[in-house]
Amino acid sequence: MKFNSLIILLLLCPFFFKATVIPFELIEGKIVLNVTIKNDQHHFIFDTGAFTIISDELKDKINAKKSNIIFEAIDANNAKSKMDVFMINTLKVADLNIKNVNFSFADISWISSRACKKISGILGANMMKDKMWQIDFKNKTLTVSDKTEADLSSGSVNIPFTEEKFTSVPKIEVKIRGQILDYVFDTGSGMGFSLNQQSYNKIKDHDFLIFEGLLAQSLNSISKGEKEVDVMEVQFGNINVGNQIIDSSLDTVNLVGTKFMENYVVVLDFINKKIILNPNGNKSEYNSFGISFTVNKGNLIIVNKLKNNQLSELNLGERIIKVNTLDVSKANEDMLCEIKKMLNEAKVITIENESHQNFTLEKKNILELLN
């Protein structure tokens, strides 16, 4: 009886016998993993919307073979670039050895400053081929296996995808307000459902929120301007997943990001070319003080803000000299990281501008402003 039960268990649950579990951090919507190169630990972003990139700083520290391939990249902001393609024999992620990985070198120092952590590379979709990757946002683990079938829970959503040539970036179809739209399933985006402005204009109504300022930064470009944020019903095939966060974007590519994915255990099945979403009980929220900061020439300035009455007296580019009791009149990147941590943990903050005006701001789920 025990022997037969063991055979049945092995047949039903092969996933647990050839699996590697990898812990990760979620930083500003980015999945950050530890990667070992030449016995040294480095932080990489797990990004299904990208080709694999390794920082220029590691050029002299790894033995990479240059290929004859030139990768013509177009980032989310439609900025074009050409990069040489190299190959590394092994990338080690936890106990998982990924063989013969194609990648390009690039300057990604801007990612480190935003993540408040040294980021040395991007693990792109091209290194995910022929495996299943399960993302558990509650436990912050990635489980990788060679299993060909995934477990389905009640309410699961099964989404077929196609792979972009060379990069293997997964592309899916999404239905919003009667429009069928092409999307990239992008773990490198911290948003919900981002739509290029042309697509957004086709489905928008008269009730939405507007953010202005710095909107996005990618490998070769920065987006500035205004974006609109709304809540709309979303469908994958015939499955309605309810109201989701939709925002317009200057990007040319429509992106499904981690703000949506956090509500599910996500299975990226690169064997059978499908994505499986198992609900984990989370609900979509968009908690924010309505502003964000950056450091420019030693000054802490407002770089993005919600356009509403409460914030009408604060301007983009305005210098801030105090956040709560912290003197930020002489700011640097380390101080910006301290402020980000403060904003993440606090429910109410007080900021002071250089005219010594004080503003008390409360963190809110800004989607409630749409009700």
Read off the pLDDT of residues 136-193 as tens digits, 9 standing for 90 and up. 999 999 999 987 666 677 789 999 999 999 999 999 999 999 999 999 999 999 999 9
Burial class (CB in 10 A: 0-12, 13-18, 19+), 100: exposed
Q: Is the pLDDT of residue 126 over 90?
A: yes
Q: How many angstroms separate the CA atoms of 20 and 16, rounded?
A: 9
What is the chain's alpha carbon radius of gyration, rounded to the nearest angstrom? 22
Tokens representing residue 236 in the block: 């994958």
Closest CA to 157 of 270, 274, 327: 274
User: For residue 11, what pLDDT band results from cuts at 50, 70 and 90?
Assistant: very low
Decide which of 11 and 180 is more confident: 180
20-144 and 287-370 in the same fold: no
Burial class (CB in 10 A: 0-12, 13-18, 19+), 267: buried
pLDDT digits (tens, 9 = 90+) for 35-46: 998 888 999 999
Domain edges within the chain: 20-144, 150-279, 287-370
pLDDT, tens digit, 9 for 90 and up, residues 295-306: 888 999 999 999
Q: 334: helix, coil or strand?
A: helix
Tokens of 288: 């924010």
Nearest to 132 by CA among 274, 273, 270, 277: 270
CB-based contact 356:324 (threshold 8 Å): no
CATH architecture group of domain 287-370: Roll (2.30)
> Averaged over 236-241, what is the pLDDT?
94
Does the domain made of 150-279 have the CATH classification 2.40.128.50? no
Percent of the chain, pLDDT > 70? 89
pTM (predicted TM-score): 0.87
At the fourth CATH level, the homologous superfamily of domain 20-144 is: Acid Proteases (2.40.70.10)
Can you give the pLDDT at residue 37?
Answer: 87
* Predicted confidence (pLDDT) at residue 220 exceeds the cutoff of 60: no
How many CA atoms, within 13 angstroms, populate the side-chain half-sphere of residue 249?
25
